[in-house]
Copies of this chain bind each other. A is one copy, B any other.
Amino acid sequence: MKGLKGALIFGQSGGPSSVINSSAAGVFIEALKHSDVITKVYGAHHGIKGILDEDFFDIGQEDMKELELLKNTPSSALGSVRYKLKSPDVDETDYKRLLEVFKKYNIRYFFYNGGNDSMDTCNKVSKYMQKSGWDINVIGVPKTIDNDLYGTDHCPGYGSAAKYVATSIMELKLDSTVYNTGMFCIIEVMGRNAGWLTAAAQLASYAGLGADLIYLPETPFDIDEFLASVKKVLDANDNKCMVVVSEGIRNAEGKYVGEFTASKTDLFGHAQLGGVGAMLAQMVKEKYGVKTRAIEFSLLQRCAAHLASKVDVEEAFACGSEAVKAAINGETDKMVCLIREEGKDYVCKPQLMDVALAANTEKKIPESWILPAGQGLTKDFVDYALPLIQGDCKAPLENGLPRFARLKKVQAGNK
């Protein structure tokens, strides 16, 4: 069955990335080509919250040039949100309201761009609308620098963040070893439960300028092993050592090593992490008396669009446009996923999978790719990740600085 004639609404959710707007560009530019079927293209302000509040923009009024610039504009241009829908069995309020808004604006296409939590939202909304008899095509568009979405070879956003991590580690390796004195440098990378982004440090090692030790959340972190490994490196290496550590490392009991800095949890009940690098640096300083420097990539790793991977920008766009093409062909209840072809050359195309499969399932790094005692990852990981960081693709320069998209954001809802 082909998709019905009606409006499309697209929302961005969760932590942004360098290329999440490229997916938005993919959705918008493709959708605007199909005005025979898609009567209106709306961009939700702050994701699902914007739909609940009738707060969304008329994308048809944007200049095509600015929509093209979205490809290289970091962060979520429509505004993001962290809003978890309750199960409809517990509280139907939000779902009823969504149905009301969908009916009012004849919304027949709902696309949501995000990670696990966003796919959960897609799944719940899709199932509820099916039950309610409101004919709507729901497609999830994957996004997360964490790369932990189940069912897709990788996630748009990961390649660019990985390229940032690997490039910055190479540069920091040269900088932090420049003096004739000792230096312990520790770099903290995002990734609560999956170490994909921290693992990108291995790409710097592959390029010959890597860290000495890499610690992922997949492997229980042992403080004594860590201190012993650091000592070994310091002794062998002119009192210099560089470590890359995930914010999410946990001890054998499953407790976050950085937990004492976690003063509160976020809306999803996740512990707010940060500072584990500084804590470990302090321990090394006290124990070995070496000068230390703790560096957090913080938000930089997810918004450094000036260092985006061309492969990533293009795949993010393709995932967005594929969502539209699939939906007008009648597909619903799906997530766009990237499936890599077998063979020597990297070929990866957007396909569809059941959104329910992706909802709330975290994909971790295969155990067999992880070497023990902070020694990094195997060549399997490099073979997997290297194709994802290829090529440069960034915003044009205006006065030496990036010219990012400037949307008019014409209000189209009855906010």
Contacts and interface: CB of A to CB of B under 8 A. Distances in A.
Interface in A70-125: 73-77, 79-82
Nearest to A169: B401
A302 B203 CA distance: 22
A209 interface: yes
A167 interface: yes
Contacts of A171: 74-75, 300, 303-306, 402
Interface in A298-320: 298-300, 302-307, 309
A260 interface: no
A337 B224 CA distance: 52
Residue among A81, A303, A307 having the largest count of chain B Cβ atoms under 10 Å: A303
A81 B172 CA distance: 17
A296 interface: yes
A170 interface: yes
What copy number does this chain have within its complex?
2
A299 B295 contact: yes
Contacts of A293: 298-299
Contact of A167 (B79, B179, B209, B306): B306
A206 B399 contact: yes
Chain A interface category by residue count: 35 or more
Contact of A304 (B79, B163, B168, B203): B168
B175 A16 contact: yes
A194 B68 CA distance: 40
A410 interface: no
A390 interface: yes
Given A178-B75, A207-B399, A399-B386, A299 B404 contact: no
A174 interface: yes
B404 A209 contact: yes
A400 B390 contact: yes
A265 interface: no
A75 B175 contact: yes
Nearest to A391: B400
A166 interface: yes
Contacts of A309: 400
A398 interface: yes
Nearest to A49: B180
A389 B295 CA distance: 25
Contacts of A207: 398-399, 401-402
Interface of A: 16, 46, 49, 73-77, 79-82, 163, 166-168, 170-172, 174-180, 185, 203-204, 206-209, 293, 295-296, 298-300, 302-307, 309, 386, 389-392, 397-402, 404, 406
The 5 closest A-B pairs by CB, nearest first: A75-B174, A175-B303, A389-B400, A171-B303, A46-B180
7 contacts: A46-B179, A75-B177, A76-B178, A79-B179, A171-B402, A174-B303, A203-B401
